[in-house]
Amino acid sequence: MRFLIVSDVHGNRFGLEAVLEDARGDYDRIVCLGDVVGYGAHPNECCQLLRDHNALCLLGNHDAAALGNISIEWFNPVATAAILWTREQLSPDNRTWLQSLEPTLDCAQHGFGAVHASLRQPLEEYIIDPSVAQPTFGLMTWPLCFYGHTHVADCYRALDVAGKRYQMEYAPLPYGGALEMEASWRYLVNPGSCGQPRDGNPQARYALLDTEEKSLEVHALDYNWNAARDAIIEAGLPPVLGERLGQGR
């Protein structure tokens, strides 16, 4: 089966639409790793697109915050402003849909799992180095796990051999790339953000997984981030949320 993996849409319909068009015909099912809303000007449109495509979608921390399910005390002022705005915009149907989501997904029948942040802290922990990746490897029951939250496309892999399970390798994927899936390793893969990248490349990112061919590739593509920026400004959201789209930060 072929899966399109997207993450951290953050209300950016232009990035999401570009990915859906670019990947058209190359997947059977969508998996979204959460944070459908927050920051961007089109929370309802992004929810509806994923619902229309019958996506397997996870709950992200910004989704939970927009629902009022977690505190926004630790959000920075810009993120707080976006969450408060998003709360006012969400339709009842999309709010109900977001409420139905969980932050983890078990696709054992297809050989992978998924989480918004980490398996240790599914909504909050940022996997930013091997020391944070290791506990998630310890909790994995699949050879492959997708994660989001950091907005950075990358891959950690850990040797799955008795006595050598602390051997780990890391590969950044800011411009995409194919990953060779070896049976003696387990993989933690972030497809990057299709709505607000933070690895210095403003392109929208996504991944394609073919479970029969055992192939996995991260893709990077241009999209109209200027339109996304203009929509943010027109909505009255903090302008910095739009300006940083062109910087990939």
Q: Which of 138, 146, 131, 124 is nearest to 62 (CA)?
A: 124
pLDDT band at 165 (very low <50, low <70, confident <90, very high): low
Q: What is the number of domains present in the chain?
A: 1
Instruction: Give every CB contact of residue 168 below 8 A, 6+ residues apart in sequence.
Output: 130, 133, 134, 137, 156, 157, 158, 159
- 114 has a pLDDT exceeding 80: yes
CATH number, domain at 34? 3.60.21.10
pLDDT band at 76 (very low <50, low <70, confident <90, very high): very high
What residues make up the domain containing 86? 2-246
Please write the tens of the pLDDT for every residue from 181-217. 999 999 999 999 999 999 999 999 999 999 999 999 9
| DSSP-based three-state secondary structure for 148 | coil
- 229 has a pLDDT exceeding 90: yes
Looking at residue 161, what is its pLDDT?
A: 83
Instruction: Give every CB contact of residue 57 below 8 A, 6+ residues apart in sequence.
Output: 31, 32, 34, 36, 50, 101
Q: Which of 127, 249, 131, 138 is nearest to 189 (CA)?
A: 127
Measured CA distances, 16 to 103, 204, 220 (Å): 20, 8, 12
Q: Report how far apart the first and last C-alpha atoms of the chain are (Å, whole number).
A: 33
Please write the tens of the pLDDT for every residue from 140-157. 999 999 999 999 999 999
Q: How wide is the angle at C-alpha 243 spanned by C-alphas 235 and 236, nearest 5°?
A: 15
The whole-angstrom separation of Cα 207 and Cα 94 is 25
